[in-house]
A and B are shown apart, each in its own frame.
Chain A
């Protein structure tokens, strides 16, 4: 290229002068100059032709390389245009779908969704505008969710879908989707959660037997009342731990199992606190509310959240003292707060308190035990209701945990 440029400039600058010096006959000079001009044009055209052909061949080679790379990927790749239509599918995509030919895996996206029974992870149909690729075409850069599709052999596959717009300065807009088969991981997950649920269930029956017999003895042997009360209290504690295990596993297993009913959060808090007085003989459990706070929620589960927060307040204030539950209404929300004057949470551990299995006081002399599930479960429950959960804490002064739920509308 550079040589061509130098020669070209030299040719333009010196060729006329050279012709004048070498050819004296004016007629012949004109002929020579015409021939020179034609030769220049021809040579230039030839050079341009070869340059274009070389880059074309390079591009073709690159296209084949990219295609071979995409085809060799273990994850299924689909390319969708703005129609929206599936215009390309790699080999892994055909395998994932069980498609006999590429044509079967291509076509208008809506039809594609029907053909492969594309559904969300809980089995609901996904409207076309929520498809990952359609959202990517609309400009969302990192769309990701779990979904189900049915292979041509009739088997359902759990897939993780992620999509992004194909960024290129010119040409029609495209989106690329990567579909990953997560069925094995999902099955393992389900088996583990099912095991956990069964194990917890198996614990509850013996607990029920122990509790019932302790109550029977307490009725018949009033003299042993105190000892039997301890047995009952400990059984209740064990039951709550088992319930937490059940909640953590169940909540992840079946997302749909949240019932909604109208109830007064303040009244529920009152009931929960009444039940908990027996486990906190050295604490003063207080309740303050400015009136009814009607919410539409899963009553049993919200009761567990309240019990969890109050129990934490008790457990993390080993010296005793007040644990105050307060219900307030404002900005369309009911907020329940539980304040204790106990240990508080060290600053550096505060970020992790809602993590599953995390125990902020583990390994410290103040460690009161527990499974590290209460707050994880509580957060899961509250978030499923469209609510928020948060806290403030200072070491040595205590913690206040809050959660809020949307207030129920006027209609019954």
Chain B
């Protein structure tokens, strides 16, 4: 997982409009972003290069967030934080269910997304700090 340049963020989200927008604002902030519309495609991307952070929707056609998280953890361990981005009524519970590191409840503020990313990856576009969590 030692790719050159800034850490990459993997966004897994089935709504193309929301995916485009999150891609746009994070790219504009200097992050390297890869996107997938569901879990299986996301796993393929993660196999090429383990991301620095995953932003994960839960309800998706194809492989859903629960199955993705289980498979992702099995393959890549707990080093990469997962942030659940969900419209579910109890976002925190969804996050606990899959052992995620944090959650964002839809609808969210753009600033919340940016500060969530900064919380795990440090200042925008920078190297990922080697913080022990």
Spell out A's residues near B (CB within 8 Å): 197, 200-201, 204-205, 207-213, 215-216, 219, 235-236, 239, 243, 246-247, 250, 257, 259, 300
Contact = CB atoms under 8 A, between A and B. Distances in A.
A325 B108 CA distance: 26
A64 to B, nearest CB: 56
A201 B59 contact: yes
A209 B15 contact: yes
Interface in B93-119: 93, 106-111
13 contacts: A197-B89, A204-B106, A204-B107, A207-B106, A209-B15, A212-B21, A212-B108, A216-B21, A216-B25, A239-B107, A246-B89, A247-B89, A250-B89
Given A216-B25, A257-B93, A208 B87 contact: yes
B17 A209 contact: yes
Contacts of B108: 208, 211-212
Contacts, number: 60
Nearest to A198: B59
Given A209-B21, A212-B108, A215-B109, A259 B15 contact: no
A212 B21 CA distance: 8
Given A205-B18, A208-B87, A259 B25 contact: no
Contacts of B15: 205, 208-209
A302 to B, nearest CB: 14
B1 interface: no
Most-contacted residue by chain A among B18, B22, B93, B107 (CB, 10 A): B107
Most-contacted residue by chain B among A210, A211, A235 (CB, 10 A): A211
Nearest to B88: A201
A205 B106 contact: yes
A247 B21 CA distance: 29
B79 interface: no
B87 A201 contact: yes
A194 to B, nearest CB: 12
